[in-house]
Amino acid sequence: MPVSAADRTGVWDAGPNSDDYTMLWEAKDGRSVSFVCSDDASVSVSLALPGRAGRQVRISLGSATHTAPLSGTSGRYLVRPKDPKAFLRDVTRPGRLVIETGSLRVEPVEPPPEMRTSFLRRCAEYWPTGALMARPPVGRVADLAPQAFAAARKGAALSQRVFRDQIFPGVPGPEMVALPPGSFLMGSPKGEGFDDERPQRTIRLDPPLAVGKYELTWEEYNICRYEGPCDAAPSDGFGGGRRPVTNVSYEDATTYAAWLSGRTGQRYSLLSEAEWEYAARAGSTTTYPWGAKFVPGKANCDGCGSPWDNRSTAPVGSFAPNAFGLHDLQGNVWEWVQDCFADSYAAGQPRDGSAYLPKNCTRRLNRGGSWYTTPSRLRSANRLTSEPADRVPQLGFRVARH
């Protein structure tokens, strides 16, 4: 049977179902495939597929094939794999998923790899240690950040300043870049930008600081989503994967940072506004990090001269990094920062790079411009204010580690 359009456009979702864990594919025409592991260490596959089924079902998972009895009628069927451990391991391996029985055939889009990994890790909680996954190595994983911070202070090459903390065994966190300490002039001079970007003031950043090499991606955010604490971000229709996550609120972004801190044992957060501008300028003092004038081809915006201009986000890292080795601080998506908004820098903002967080805070700040904004919004000093609950396809975030 030919693969229908619904097979390609159906979507996967995940989450707890009572005491079970579920990996669910649903198409708009009502068909669905649900992989379930239960607290009694059992595995099942539920199918909602209209048509005539046979007594056996054949499930192809990449190069592996599993054949099992099929029960149920009227388009709703249940499968219990004969070798659940092997079946679960094969579910998590990359490759096409095809289900065939009688006159029925469905080939859903492949589950995201981070969903597969999270599903197996969750299922492993119901099995003896080591039964589904390799036993984690004894002892703590080395914290490579101190070496990266030391290298940054010495002005070492980028390769010595990049590190990743481990979320789970074999699952690394976002790629981080340790930045050198230093001072810079924050804001815009008179005659440039807007009044809320003034008065200019000198900021000194001394404590160790690492910044996400890229804006946080869908595949990185969704690990937190599949683990539970992060709310699902509505799809922006741009493709997910290695594109920056969007449609996330301020709370969504801070929830992710708190979850990442708990999983890695390190201190993650959003960047403060001062940290963001320091990272974006990367030692420059001009309007843009590359100079006083806008230059096409440097970023993704409305008028930047990229294939994604005013159409969609671009995969992270599609443009050259700045002098600190960071990508996409200009354009692609606006980025949440920690600070509360004030209509000038005369409101008592700290000068040590920390966030401005007064008691009465109704609006937050975004930085950097997006695929939807004009080039002038890509200025290093430009600011945008938003409601904390805002979720739009032009807005994402990146993380910092201290």
The fold of 145-401 is paralog of FGE (formylglycine-generating enzyme) (3.90.1580)
Nearest CA to 179 out of 331, 325, 379 is that of 325
* Mean pLDDT of the 44-49 span: 94
Residue 3 in this model has a pLDDT that exceeds 60: no
What confidence score (pLDDT) does residue 138 get?
67
Does residue 316 sit in helix, strand or coil?
coil
d(C-alpha 99, C-alpha 275), whole Å: 50
Are 337 and 270 a contacting pair, CB within 8 Å?
yes
**Any idea of the CA torsion for 149, 155, 157, 160, to the nearest 10 degrees?**
-20
d(C-alpha 29, C-alpha 228), whole Å: 28
d(C-alpha 215, C-alpha 398), whole Å: 5
Tokens of 48: 């909602």
Per-domain residue ranges of the chain: 5-124, 145-401
What confidence score (pLDDT) does residue 1 get?
44
Max Cα separation, the chain? 77
Tokens of 178: 């340790």
d(C-alpha 8, C-alpha 164), whole Å: 33
Residue-wise pLDDT tens digits, 98-115 = 999 998 899 999 999 999
Residue-wise pLDDT tens digits, 148-192 = 999 999 999 999 999 999 998 878 999 999 999 999 999 999 999
The fold of 5-124 is Immunoglobulin-like (2.60.40)
Residue 276 CB coordination number (10 Å): 27
Are 361 and 347 a contacting pair, CB within 8 Å?
no
Does residue 348 sit in helix, strand or coil?
coil
What confidence score (pLDDT) does residue 137 get?
66
Are 398 and 211 a contacting pair, CB within 8 Å?
yes
- The total number of residues written for the chain in this structure: 402
Express as a percent the part of the chain with pLDDT over 70: 96
Residue 384 in this model has a pLDDT that exceeds 90: yes
What confidence score (pLDDT) does residue 92 get?
87
Identify the residue whose tokens are 């080591």. 130
Find the helix packing angle between 113-124 and 218-227, rounded to 10°.
20
d(C-alpha 74, C-alpha 96), whole Å: 26
What confidence score (pLDDT) does residue 2 get?
46
Residue 141 in this model has a pLDDT that exceeds 80: no
Tokens of 199: 């008065």
Average pLDDT value for the chain: 94
Nearest CA to 275 out of 382, 353, 173, 187 is that of 353
Are 145 and 176 a contacting pair, CB within 8 Å?
yes
What confidence score (pLDDT) does residue 47 get?
94
At 93, the pLDDT band (50, 70, 90 cuts) reads confident
Nearest CA to 200 out of 61, 8, 363, 344 is that of 344
What confidence score (pLDDT) does residue 202 get?
98
Highest mean pLDDT among 48-62, 65-79, 264-278: 264-278
Residue-wise pLDDT tens digits, 268-298 = 999 999 999 999 999 999 999 999 999 999 9
Q: Would you say the pTM of this structure is higher than 0.85?
A: yes
What confidence score (pLDDT) does residue 14 get?
80
Are 163 and 210 a contacting pair, CB within 8 Å?
yes
DSSP 205-242: E-S-EEEESSPPBHHHHHHHHHHSSSPPPPP-SS--TT
Q: Which residue has the higher pLDDT, 333 or 104?
A: 333
At 79, the pLDDT band (50, 70, 90 cuts) reads very high
At 50, the pLDDT band (50, 70, 90 cuts) reads confident
